[in-house]
Structure 1
Amino acid sequence: MVLQGERGEIDPFVLVVEGSIPNESIKPEGYWCGFGDNPETGQPITTSEWIDRLAPKALAVVAIGTCATYGGIHAMAGNPTGAMGVPDYLGWDWKSQAGIPIVCVPGCPIQPDNFSETLTYLLYQAAGAAPMIPLDDKLRPTWLFGATVHEGCDRAGYYEQGQFALTYDSPKCLVKLGCWGPVVKCNVPKRGWMNGIGGCPNVGGICIACTMPGFPDKFMPFMDEPPARRCRAAPAAPMARWSAS
């Protein structure tokens, strides 16, 4: 399929990248990831070389999952492979031959409906039935990543009242236990993982900011209180008491 794409036999096509991109140009100690061999040299064709070949010919480039979008765990400080996300590799201002910026659908793992919905939008756009896909400054679809985890969280009411969990068996807001929900753009708590069910804080897990650039380095150590101090909100005023007259 990749050879067909390079030869123009499946135009127009959307290039979907999953996984971070090892960059042998900055870490030349080895071949970190590749697909097939170059028949002329007998050497592996690296992932980065395939992207160099295919991206200029693609209708659109879609990075799925946090590793492909922003580097993720493989791009942590000290990684030996030079791993990075597609925008860091191609450039944040890169556009396809159709004028479409890189489309990032982060998540570790990616929410499957977010992926299929993004591809569907691009197909409509390619058919002339939809305008340019709207993206935020992190190249994420705005209708999917326009709200914070907090806004879709089942525990949000406790946050507004200043009621915070101190142990994991509490139904209250998890900010003091390290949840980054108030500042992270992600729709999983509202949309759920499968058939509307799940969402990290909804089922007792803190948000560790896996849809954000800089994850995980920028948001470690997990389960510490500092995020709570940054995200704290003043408790809401007590609700008025109503009585029948």
Structure 2
Amino acid sequence: MPPLQSYSITDKGLQRPNNEDCYLSTPDLNLWLVADGMGGHEAGEVASAITRDTISEQVEQGNTLEQAILMAHTNVMQAIESGQGGEGMGSTVVALHNSGTDYDIAWVGDSRAYVWSITAEGGQLDQLTTDHSYVQMLLESGSIAAEEMETHPEKNVITQCIGSFDNPNIQVDTLNNKWRPNQWILLCSDGLTDELSNQEIAEALCHASSIEDAGDKLIAAALDHGGKDNVTVQLIASPQQHNIPRTTLMQSPWIILALLAAFGLIAALAWWL
């Protein structure tokens, strides 16, 4: 089976002096990931790079994503203890490993994975991951409603990350799904989801002509909305890609009915006048 088609892009944003995000795109290993470092200059980028490199090495050795992420957690903590990077540094991660007919996703923190299913009418966006965040915990406990999450003052507080000594036994969440025809998997840092709602992400994807165009559109939209954080986007296409004729405006029965009604109104007005 040929390597999956993919596209990766990152930007430091408009307000940060450096980029603490990083990504890995290794089609030959069937491995992709986004890591969002934290801890400031010469710390966050160190943590995310250790996370990326460790997971790549571990998967190449035949370990699962979960095992690879747990090893990355250990390596970041050891780096802190040896004086590499800085105290308090850490990283989130979301990773995808392709197995041919299906794929595994694993994550820690609030970097996300979505699936975009292309249809004749446009497409459907579904969030695959659940954030390890304080507002998610409040939502699950019933303390806040879903619509309050985006405006909550502590929306960016995460409950676990790679390299945290406060939580040495992190819980790696995982999922396994079958590939479906005409799907794209989107991996991203919170620099995207803090700026764009799921609806806005879906709209950008709906207007994209390719995964490259989709990635560029998402980055541009995040920057247009303020670009307050580093932003990283990866898109991985399903191995089952088929041409789907998109419904044009004139092919839609609702548009045709609306146009007929409009023409009828114009004719009636012309007759009346």
Q: Which has the higher contact order (CA 8 A, sep 6+)?
A: 2
Larger strand share, 1 or 2:
2
Q: TM-score, normalised on structure 1?
A: 0.30
Q: TM-score, normalised on structure 2?
A: 0.28
